[in-house]
Amino acid sequence: MHFNQTNHHKRNILVVDDTPDNLRLLSAMLTAQGFEVRKALNGKMALTACQMVLPDVILLDINMPDMDGYQVCQQLKADDKTSDVPVIFISALDDVVDKVKAFDVGGVDYIAKPFHGAEVVLRIENQINLRLLQVKLQEKNFLLQQALDNLQASQVKQIQNEKMVALGQLVAGLAHEINNPISFIYGNLQYAGQYVQDLVNLIEVYQQEYPKPTSKVQQIAKDIDLNFLITDLQNLISAMYRGSDRIREIVLALQHFSRHDEAEMKRVNIHEDIENTLVMLQHRLRETADRPAIVVVKDYGNLPLVTCYASELNQVFMHLLNNAIDAIEEGVGNQSPTRYPLTPLEEISDALYGTPDVACFPEGVNELGNATLSPLASPQLLEILHEGRRPYRLLSTPQIRIHTEVTDLNMVKIAIADNGPGIEESLRSRLFDPFFTTKPVGKGSGLGLSISYQIIVQKHQGNITCTSSVEQGAEFVIEIPIEQPQR
């Protein structure tokens, strides 16, 4: 938008003609009408004059030495600085072909010689008025776009607030309702286990005191397989303990995730919030008919407590992890089952091999030193790891990596990467726009990343970025200050 905003009666006109008489005539005529006129005898001088002071209109002759008017116009339109300046061709060439070519290269009007002074002035004023209208239209479009962006941002914020309130109430209520009966069950399991043990002890005493029971007792003992029942009953009690513990962990994770009563900023453990979010997503990480279980590899740094809105940050983790799972499942539908590329282990930090709980699996685990591996791992892989050797590549399996660290700028960095199909470059610039989604109709609202952007950038003074290549997965990186600045 390079319009010369000078006085209406002092518009800057650049006249380009290799004939001095024509220059003098046009200059005198336009000056008399209140225009400020500059002159150029050839194309190179015209281009230089435009760079020095941008004209409002250019009167351009066609037949000139070295560089004709068409070439001059093409160079003007190719330069962002001069591309919006109206060019009026003025020439003795009156053939239709010449006029068509003039418009093809970017001219807005064409005046044939010999010309009439009144016609030239009116055509120049017409172009100036058109340009003024274009500038006003662009300004209004800019204001309308701003209003649209603000409206969309307000809608996203309202939707986010409503979702957070509803989700918080639902999760908190659900956790409370589950917690009461499971606490009753868990609290009584200890007594039930003791009662069962007392009964088993009594049976054993009976067997010692009466080694030859009646035939009826022997038949009943045989029918119920007494020895197996005693052994399995103890295993059953242990399994009930483990199940109750698991439910209590889920309830605790639900309570931490919702943080229903925590609307203000507070210092929280980021790793604990990530773990709670992963608990909420266990059902999506499990093996399905179309793919193996999704492995979550954790490369946690030593993070301090971070001041943040905990429930809203949990929502960001939920959005990013859900998107990673969606991307992996999309890749399953588009590729062969063995398509998941994994980084060679030589490229993974040695810290991974010395960090407890390096990998998280949805169902069952095999503990190998400090590493946790899926039970789906091949015997060859387990043998390699037991021997302390480092395999070049893990299983061809879907994977999400979570990396955390403290940066030099006193920020906490959380990176969540997947080995899904990746995101095209043309789409990455719009990922955080409200209502924009790459998912099929009915599978995404286009709000998750937009809400995440607002939470991280606007509420936590941080930033969120995405790096991705097609068939190479995607990585979202969050950075927020450890302590929020005073506002």
| Per-residue pLDDT reduced to its tens digit, 268-286 | 899 988 998 888 788 888 8
Higher-pLDDT residue of 235, 352 = 235
CA neighbor of 339 nearest in space, from 398, 272, 401, 417: 398
The predicted model gives 356-364 an average pLDDT of 41
Lowest mean pLDDT among 75-89, 101-115, 349-363: 349-363
Mean of the per-residue pLDDT values of the chain: 77
CA neighbor of 17 nearest in space, from 136, 120, 155: 120
For 50, residues 6+ apart whose C-beta sits below 8 A from its C-beta are 14, 58, 76, 81, 82, 85
> Band of the pLDDT at 345, cuts 50, 70, 90?
very low
Number of other residues whose CB lies within 10 A of the CB of residue 438? 18
pLDDT reading at 414 higher than 90: yes
> Band of the pLDDT at 352, cuts 50, 70, 90?
very low
pLDDT reading at 398 higher than 60: yes
The predicted model gives 401-418 an average pLDDT of 93
Buried b / exposed e along 279-300 (16+ C-beta atoms within 10 A): bbbeebbeeeeebbbbbbbbbb
105-139 confidence digits (pLDDT tens): 999 889 888 878 888 888 888 888 898 888 899 89
Angle at 143 between CA 139 and CA 144, to 5 degrees: 115
For 278, residues 6+ apart whose C-beta sits below 8 A from its C-beta are 285, 296, 321, 360
Q: Which of 342-351, 357-366, 390-399, 464-473 has the highest mean pLDDT?
A: 464-473
For 340, residues 6+ apart whose C-beta sits below 8 A from its C-beta are 328, 331, 396, 397, 398, 399, 419
> Band of the pLDDT at 415, cuts 50, 70, 90?
very high
Q: Which of 83-97, 155-169, 260-274, 391-405 has the highest mean pLDDT?
A: 83-97
Tokens of 279: 């608990």
pLDDT reading at 428 higher than 70: yes
> Band of the pLDDT at 168, cuts 50, 70, 90?
low
444-453 confidence digits (pLDDT tens): 555 668 788 8
pLDDT reading at 39 higher than 70: yes
pLDDT reading at 322 higher than 50: yes
Tokens of 263: 């609307």
**pTM of structure:** 0.48
> Is residue 180 within 8 Å of 247, Cβ to Cβ?
no
Distance (Å, whole) CA 360 – CA 321? 14
What is the model's pLDDT at position 480?
94
Lowest mean pLDDT among 138-142, 312-316, 342-346, 470-474: 342-346
Dihedral sign from CA coordinates of 181, 186, 191, 194: positive
- Residue 211's φ and ψ, nearest 5 degrees, are -65, -20
The predicted model gives 17-23 an average pLDDT of 87
What is the model's pLDDT at position 259?
57
What is the model's pLDDT at position 340?
46
The predicted model gives 470-486 an average pLDDT of 87
What is the model's pLDDT at position 75?
92
What is the model's pLDDT at position 454?
84
What is the model's pLDDT at position 298?
92
The predicted model gives 233-250 an average pLDDT of 82
> Is residue 486 within 8 Å of 463, Cβ to Cβ?
no
Q: What percent of the chain has pLDDT over 70?
A: 74
Distance (Å, whole) CA 70 – CA 62? 6
What is the model's pLDDT at position 226?
86
